[in-house]
Amino acid sequence: MQISVRENLVMRTLTKQDATSVYTAVDSNRQHLRTWLPWVDGTDSPSITENVIAIWEKEYENKTDITMGIFEGDKYVGNIGLHGLKSPNNSGMIGYWLSEACQGRGIVTDCVRALINLGFYKLNLNRIYINCAKENKKSRAIPERLGFVKEGTLQDGEYVNGVYYDLIVYGKLSRNWNAEEVF
């Protein structure tokens, strides 16, 4: 699957041929990413990344998750996904990360917008949610910018590298999403 987000920006499912690019991006952003993401330290070789991509491919085939790479031109710059799609509640959770050098240009906001459109208009989801660490202001700005409702806080909702983080839960219902309003 490939989604054109804007000129020179696409999201697409990853294959094992992408493993080195993904690993290189994680490795060069390791310090930046490890504060918020528990899997970073375990991503210590391209072969590990290749194994994870194989899992993502299987989840896509089973229609439980859609994990895509974010590409600016031909350069891999991050990941985005719509997870938990087998929910009986017709909901899905969006997760994302972006290389530090690419932040501040609206890349993730535009990719999240495109993923919301996919979720509501193609997958017929009723609800999409995003969980962000309370302290992760850059990540929280994305659902806030896109008009998500702050639904609550999961106290100590995530344990990352020896630290518990409260998670802010943001939600958006399909009936409250008008794609034209946010472009």
Report d(CA 37, CA 54) in Å as an integer.
Answer: 20
Tell me whether residue 150 is in a domain.
Answer: no
Domain membership of residue 98 (yes or no) is yes
Residues 59-72 have pLDDT tens digits of 999 999 999 999 99
Within a domain: 108: yes
For residue 134, what are its two tokens?
A: 């309370």
| Relative orientation angle of helices 107-117 and 137-145, to the nearest 10 degrees | 50
pLDDT value, residue 182: 45
How high is the pLDDT of residue 179? 66
User: For residue 154, what are the β-bridge partners?
Assistant: 167
Output the pLDDT for position 87. 73
Domain containing residue 41: CATH number: 3.40.630.30
Asked whether residue 116 is assigned to any structural domain, the reply reads: yes
Residues in the chain predicted with pLDDT less than 50, given as ranges, are 181-183
Per the CB < 8 A criterion, the answer to whether 111 and 80 are in contact is yes
Query: Is 50 inside a domain boundary?
Result: yes
- How many separate domains does the chain show? 1
Q: Is residue 38, in this structure, part of any structural domain at all?
A: yes
Residue 151 lies in a domain: no
Q: Which residues pair with 94 in a beta bridge?
A: 82
The predicted-structure confidence for 28-50, as pLDDT tens digits, reads as follows 999 999 999 989 988 989 999 99
pLDDT for 4: 93
- pLDDT confidence of residue 56: 95
Domain residues for 86? 2-128
pLDDT of residue 183: 39
Residue 73, domain member (yes or no): yes
